[in-house]
Amino acid sequence: MVHEDEPVLLGRAGRTARITLNRPRALNALTHPMVLRISEALARWEDDESVTAVIISGAGERGLCAGGDIRAIHEDARTGGAASPAFWRDEYRLNARIARFPKPYVALMDGIVMGGGVGVSAHGTVRIVTERSAVAMPETGIGLVPDVGGTYLLSRAPGELGTHLALTGRAVGAADALLCGLADHFVPSERLDAVRTALAGPDVREAAHVTETVRGYGTAAPEGQLAADREWIDPCYAAGTVEEIVERLLATGLPAAKEAAETILTRSPTALKATLEALRRARPLPTLEEALDQEYRASCAALATPDLLEGIRAQVIDKDRRPRWSPKELAQVTEADVARFFAPPPGGDLGLAAGV
């Protein structure tokens, strides 16, 4: 029996299995039990010959998923930080499972798709955005480094677009998500129900059929902004340090570049420097699993910094949007501060790459 108040609804339509994130009042934010339920379902469906494809979507009108439940992370960090590493272990394993799932995994990235929401969608086989999509990795605003495979995805975006999105935490619409490799198809939101129905049909039996079916409902996305902005994004973000990136942005004299610099300067200085280093290290990594291993180290390290508690307090708990970062200036963040984000955590490494 399905209980509509369950945080993850699992169902079937024809030979298509469906996952619905069902916490609409919390923008479908992921909890540890939700991660485990999705992972267990995928494990079952992987060997179930009656399932030919999986669709993930979010309940409500606001979005697929706004990320992990950072209120829970805040409470955990405040009381010792034992639960969050366990959550991240299972969440990152789920991200890797999605990326290697042997059947078509279709993500309906409608509305807000941020942080952990990117993790359960952008590693899929067929990733659909709509005119309502807002895709982002906003972790630097709460003292974290982009995770859930975010450094892997963003490090592979054209030029320095991924660096821009990682440092600023900026949300992008459909066209820019497509440009950055975070999505594959634009489908107007009014056609999503038709896509679901079509994918449940008897003719959809393999990946090629799924892609062909989705493409039949797609159109050209409304024009984005990042392609034109690469004129200043690529040379500015190619700098070796966050300080130099900010200097180059301000020196352009362009309003959009100045706005990016000002946004960066509101983020956690420690998280910014660790994020830039994580992106540079992620570029040559051959597998998502290696990037997730690196991100696990960074997330565990962030638990021990004051900025994670302070960032979540300012953005989510008190909502005053006035974080007091420590250290407060980029120049005060040392190489040793950054190096801690890449050291093995006290509880041991994630070890995903070893299993590939």
Nearest partner of 38 among 114, 85, 96, 81, judged by Cα: 96
* β-bridge mates for residue 209, sequence order: none
| Distance (Å, whole) CA 322 – CA 34 | 31
| Distance (Å, whole) CA 182 – CA 242 | 24
First to last CA, the chain: 37
Burial zone of 210 (CB within 10 Å; 0-12 exposed, 13-18 middle, 19+ buried): buried
CA 23-115-160 angle, 5° bins: 155
Count the alpha carbons within 13 Å of 150 in the hemisphere toward its beta carbon.
33
Task: State the residue for tokens 């679901």.
Answer: 196
Q: What's the distance, CA 282 to chain centroid? A: 15
Mention every residue, 6+ apart, whose C-beta is less than 8 A from residue 340.
Answer: 301, 304
Phi and psi at residue 281, to the nearest 5°: -75, -30
Handedness of CA 176, 179, 180, 184 (dihedral sign): positive
CB 300 within 8 A of CB 88: yes
3-state per-residue secondary structure call for 25-78 = HHCCCECHHHHHHHHHHHHHHHCCCCCCEEEEEECCCCEEECCECHHHHHHHHH
Please give the positions annotated as active site: 68, 116, 139, 147
Nearest partner of 304 among 80, 20, 87, 14, judged by Cα: 80
Helix, strand, coil % over all residues of the chain, rounded to 5: 50, 10, 40
